[in-house]
């Protein structure tokens, strides 16, 4: 027999079995009429009663999630927790991808922004990957009492009195194990759907 996963949006409110039966004139199938539970209204307007523990284990209150300002990816995490499995997806709204799967360049950029190493299946060289280097600010070379400052190699070009204000950029670790700052994607890279996360 095949297994299926069902996801639905329902309306619900706390209600004892007794309250439900009095309001709707139908059996709740509760063990006792004092059992706590929820009146549940489905998209087709079918109404039923569900025990409290069973309902809260299988459902997440959307209002609470919105109140916490969860991102679409965090909502997806919650759904996965409820289902007890991973959902393999590439989502335009949340940019979520699953490790080991391939995805588009747009999603690759999203993963790089999260600090992930990204690569393409189609690249011939082994060990190649791209990362997004964050912005960096260093005080001038002639700053005293600190080791964290502009080095002499950079100061030669920008001056010993100027701080380094480096903007974010992509860098590639090449197949020759060389660090290449300022990597630019080719047309083939931008149109490819074989991007992956490197662990």
Residue 182 domain-assigned (yes or no): yes
Q: Is the pLDDT of residue 64 over 70?
A: no
Residue 40 and residue 118 in one domain: no
Residue 100 domain-assigned (yes or no): no
pLDDT: is 50 or 145 the higher one? Answer: 50
Please give the pLDDT value at position 82: 64
| Structural domain that includes position 140 | 105-198
Give the pair of three-digit tokens for residue 65. 């999630």
Residue 111 and residue 55 in one domain: no
Alpha-carbon 65 to chain mean position = 15
Task: Give helix then strand counts, H and E, for the chain.
Answer: 7, 10
Q: Is the pLDDT of residue 182 over 60?
A: yes
Q: Is the pLDDT of residue 101 over 50?
A: yes
Please give the pLDDT value at position 92: 45
Structural contact between residues 10 and 42, judged by C-beta atoms closer than 8 angstroms: yes
Please give the pLDDT value at position 2: 73
- What's the number of domains the chain is made of? 2
Residue 110 and residue 193 in one domain: yes
Residue 90 domain-assigned (yes or no): no
* Interval 83-97: pLDDT, tens: 666 555 444 444 445
Residue 188 and residue 110 in one domain: yes
Q: Residue range 121-146: average pLDDT?
A: 89
């Amino acid at each position: 027999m095949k297994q299926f996963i069902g996801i639905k949006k329902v309306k619900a409110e706390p209600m004892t079995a007794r309250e439900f039966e009095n309001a709707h004139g139908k059996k709740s199938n509760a063990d006792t009429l004092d059992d706590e539970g929820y009146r549940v209204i489905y998209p087709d307007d079918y109404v039923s009663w569900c025990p409290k523990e069973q309902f809260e284990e299988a459902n997440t209150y959307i209002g609470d999630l919105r109140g916490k300002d969860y991102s679409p990816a965090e909502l997806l995490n919650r759904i996965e927790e409820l289902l007890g499995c991973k959902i393999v997806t590439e989502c335009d709204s949340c940019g979520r991808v699953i490790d080991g799967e391939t995805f588009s360049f747009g999603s690759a950029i999203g993963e790089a922004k999260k600090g992930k190493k990204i690569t393409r299946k189609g690249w011939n060289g082994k060990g190649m990957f791209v990362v997004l280097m964050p912005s960096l600010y260093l005080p001038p070379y002639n700053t005293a009492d600190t080791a964290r400052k502009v080095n002499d190699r950079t100061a030669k070009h920008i001056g010993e009195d100027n701080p380094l204000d480096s903007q974010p950029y992509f860098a590639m670790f090449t197949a020759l194990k060389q660090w290449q700052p300022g990597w630019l994607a080719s047309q083939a890279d931008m149109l490819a759907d074989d991007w992956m996360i490197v662990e």
